[in-house]
Structure 1
Amino acid sequence: MLTTIPLTPALIRGALELEPTAHGLLPHRLPAAARAQNTDPQLAMAESQPSGVRLALRTAATVVELDTLPTKRLYPGAPQRPDGVYDLLVDGELTARGTVPGGRTLVIDLATGRGEARPGAEPGTLRFDGLDAREKDVEIWLPHQETTELVALRADAPVEPLPARGHRVWVHHGSSVSHGSDAAGPSTTWPARAAALGGVDLVNLGFGGSALLDPFTARALRDTPADLLSLKFGINLVNADLMRLRALGPALHGFLDTVREGHPETPLLVVSALYCRIHEDTPGPAAFDTSALGEGRLSFVATGDPAEVPAGRLTLRTVREEMARVVASRTASDPHLYYLDGTELYGAEDYAARPLPDELHPDPETHLRIAERFAAKAFGTTGAFAARA
């Protein structure tokens, strides 16, 4: 017999805020104060998608059910995305995956990025059964790219919040690759996998299309408890064609200053963009490749003019150079600040062997490879996040 378990904040990890709704709880990865200052529908959608958010339980249950109300994305004229994936981890091991069909729909205009919300069906049920009848750690990772309201939790044995294990908390901010675009599941995005390899608890503030040096994001990072911090910038600054070189350095300095107000001595790793062929030497903005759409594929192209780079238009090469310069200028007064060139995680040779399928996002296997490299560089004995006495 299943018993309903109250969905309390103690059972949910990885969210900065839980908003009560008519159905239950909606996890957010930006607090209300930040959301109130945002006018970008892309970021509003991305922060409500619970990448890295999971239910963390200690239980002897053999059956666990979770009712959720998902919001699916629909892009008219583009290939449709599959239902979001939920990952079940038992004692840290990926044991099963599931989906919840139906729910609401957000119809997104490819030209403007604006979305129209359409009401949908009643909440659906995710069921995991056949679990061992012993006390165990159970985590249900929510879909990393599907807005998910938590409605009800049931189990056939008592449930307690997963006890604190003394793990360090790693807060990471980045773009769609950090968000988890095209990863196989929420526990195998590169930050989630790197956190598992590093033995830390992840708070993932990777926002698809939205690693844009927004001051309200910096304040959210400032105010979020963290033992380790990383910031990954570059691709969105270029593919959104957001700013020119003159603005980049001061904006990055300001972002770092704000984060340091709340974390003056926390190890802070600044990471530049992975290799991305279309934007290495060509500015943004990025656009959908219409010829690929005509073939039923999703792909991107760079539409800027390389001749304008000397005048300050950004490419990934110029952004990496400026980020490295800014970090180097601060390290004398900030010995806990570090820099990692993103091409050490995925470079030109990697692209030649395993190209980005849509020219922006890595495939599932590449997410895992990036995670392994990040873990080795960041959590290794000489890395920024190495455990020190």
Structure 2
Amino acid sequence: MTTWHEVEPAGGPVEIRGALDLERTLAGVLPRRLPAWTRAQYPGPFLDAVTMTPSGVRLAFRTAATAVELRLLTTVSPTPDDTRRPDPGTVDLVVDGELTGSAAAPAGNVLWPDGELEAGEPGTVRFDGLASGAKDVELWLPQDTPCELVALRADAPITAPGPHGRRRWTHYGSSISQGPGADRPTGTWPAVAARAAGVELLNLSLAGNAVLDPFVARTIRDTPADLISVKIGINVVNTATFRRRSFAPAVHGFLDTVRDGHPEVPLLVVSPVSCLAVEHHPGPTGAGPDGTLVALGDPDDVAAGALTLTVIREELAALVRDRAADDPHLHHLDGRALLGPHDTAHLPDGLHPDAVAQHRMGRRFTAEVFARPGPFAGRD
């Protein structure tokens, strides 16, 4: 008869990586990717919901178990034009650094566009057939589905993971980096790059909300990191957040705040990847009749200060060049090196990379940034 060893997913031996807040709920623990103090400064419920999506969040522990079960309650949110229950995604199993399994996350709550919550029940994800002997285990949560963690159990004792000794990488970006189009939680491009480079990822990418909010800059400033990257641009155009006059000062302010806490950490500014709709047309943006991205701004307004991706790339390149004269640890990467105009067939809605493109971006980032002579290359 199997003897099960059960622990709470937080407050015990399990380490929850990639989250900066653990909210206690009726069901269990809800990981959030921004700290609790930031909530008072959110502009609305959309950002609050985005912080609950656990892109890059994983449970880490050590065990000799051959079977592991995670009990969790998922919450999916259909889009306004979709009456179907979305797929909650998968949980990935990583053992001693190797991806060894994936299982469908259970159906739970449904939050409908009109605000009605269709309550569900927690379900269980089970992984069998793990190799015997002590090992470090990570369970990566679905990157686009909030998950309340109820319990973790295994057929052997669960203990705290050992120190990993890996460099800590904090990345800030938009939905492109949060990864809704990825095929699995370890398939977002930051996760692909982090695993290939052997670093610990904190993914602070915020779908629709990467607009240089000061509370995010302060979060990065106050969070231990060995490597930092900030990918800036697409949401600035999507929401028409800035004009040319205000954009560069906002970037300076964001970087200044980050530098207050990390004066010598390698800091990489990444400009936008290709997005045909807004390369030369300003935002805001919307969805066209076929659901693909369309620019709603007036191209004639660019001369008066409206922003396009082309303008943003020019501004970021100049800004980093000027700052780097006094900051040798500041670097720039043109985002088209990760996803260029020849890759746009892998943007099903004209904006979000599909699974193929997510993996491609991760590999290219690894080659451009983590490999020598890239800015994040390890030291001998």
TM range (shorter): over 0.9
Q: Does 1:358 align with 2:352?
A: no
Alpha-carbon distance between aligned partners in 2 of 1:117 and 1:78, rounded to the nearest angstrom: 14
Question: What corresponds to 1:278 in structure 2?
Answer: 277
Alpha-carbon distance between aligned partners in 1 of 2:160 and 2:193, rounded to the nearest angstrom: 23
Question: What corresponds to 1:112 in structure 2?
Answer: none
Please, which of 74, 78, 84 is the counterpart of residue 74 of structure 1?
A: 78
Alpha-carbon distance between aligned partners in 1 of 2:123 and 2:191, rounded to the nearest angstrom: 25
* Contact kept? 1:104, 1:117, Cα under 8 Å: no
Shift of 1:366: 1.0
1:376 maps to amino acid: A
Question: What corresponds to 2:21 in structure 1?
Answer: 17
Q: Which residues in structure 2 correspond to 1:305-324 (within 5 Å)?
A: 305-324=298-317
Q: Which residues in structure 2 correspond to 1:159-174 (within 5 Å)?
A: 159-174=158-173
Shift of 1:124: 1.2
Please, which of 50, 53, 56 is the counterpart of residue 49 of structure 1?
A: 53
Please, which of 89, 92, 96 is the counterpart of residue 94 of structure 2?
A: 89
Q: Which residues in structure 2 correspond to 1:1-389 (within 5 Å)?
A: 1-8=3-10, 10-78=14-82, 80=84, 81-108=86-113, 116-289=115-288, 291-292=289-290, 298-351=291-344, 354-389=345-380
* Contact kept? 2:285, 2:294, Cα under 8 Å: yes
Question: What corresponds to 1:295 in structure 2?
Answer: none
Shift of 1:300: 2.0
- TM-score normalised according to structure 1 size: 0.93
SS in structure 1 at match of 2:111? strand
1:138 maps to amino acid: V
2:227 maps to amino acid: L
Shift of 1:79: 7.3
* Contact kept? 2:39, 2:48, Cα under 8 Å: yes
2:8 maps to amino acid: P
Alpha-carbon distance between aligned partners in 1 of 2:106 and 2:287, rounded to the nearest angstrom: 27
Alpha-carbon distance between aligned partners in 1 of 2:44 and 2:264, rounded to the nearest angstrom: 32
Shift of 1:122: 2.0
1:189 maps to amino acid: T
Alpha-carbon distance between aligned partners in 2 of 1:210 and 1:191, rounded to the nearest angstrom: 17
Shift of 1:226: 0.3
Shift of 1:240: 1.0
SS in structure 1 at match of 2:346? coil
- Residues paired across the two proteins, number: 375
Alpha-carbon distance between aligned partners in 2 of 1:107 and 1:384, rounded to the nearest angstrom: 44
Alpha-carbon distance between aligned partners in 2 of 1:227 and 1:370, rounded to the nearest angstrom: 21
Shift of 1:172: 0.4
2:40 maps to amino acid: A
Structure 1, unaligned stretches of length 5 or more? 110-115, 293-297
Alpha-carbon distance between aligned partners in 2 of 1:117 and 1:59, rounded to the nearest angstrom: 40
* Contact kept? 1:102, 1:120, Cα under 8 Å: no
Alpha-carbon distance between aligned partners in 1 of 2:299 and 2:90, rounded to the nearest angstrom: 39
Shift of 1:119: 4.5
SS in structure 1 at match of 2:247? helix
User: What root-mean-square deviation, in Å, do the aligned CA atoms of Structure 1 and Structure 2 show?
Assistant: 1.4
Alpha-carbon distance between aligned partners in 2 of 1:117 and 1:255, rounded to the nearest angstrom: 37
SS in structure 1 at match of 2:77? strand
* Contact kept? 2:65, 2:157, Cα under 8 Å: yes
SS in structure 1 at match of 2:112? strand
Q: Deviations over 1:168-226 (max 9, x none)?
A: 00000000011012000111100001001111010100111111000011001111110
Question: What corresponds to 1:113 in structure 2?
Answer: none
Q: Which moved more, 1:218-227 or 1:17-26?
A: 17-26
1:384 maps to amino acid: P
Q: Deviations over 1:42-77 (max 9, x none)?
A: 211111111100011221111111111111111231
* Contact kept? 2:142, 2:184, Cα under 8 Å: yes
SS in structure 1 at match of 2:204? strand
SS in structure 2 at match of 1:102? coil
Q: Deviations over 1:272-320 (max 9, x none)?
A: 110011110111111122x22xxxxx43222111111111111000011
Alpha-carbon distance between aligned partners in 1 of 2:93 and 2:292, rounded to the nearest angstrom: 31
Alpha-carbon distance between aligned partners in 1 of 2:346 and 2:125, rounded to the nearest angstrom: 34
Alpha-carbon distance between aligned partners in 1 of 2:319 and 2:60, rounded to the nearest angstrom: 39
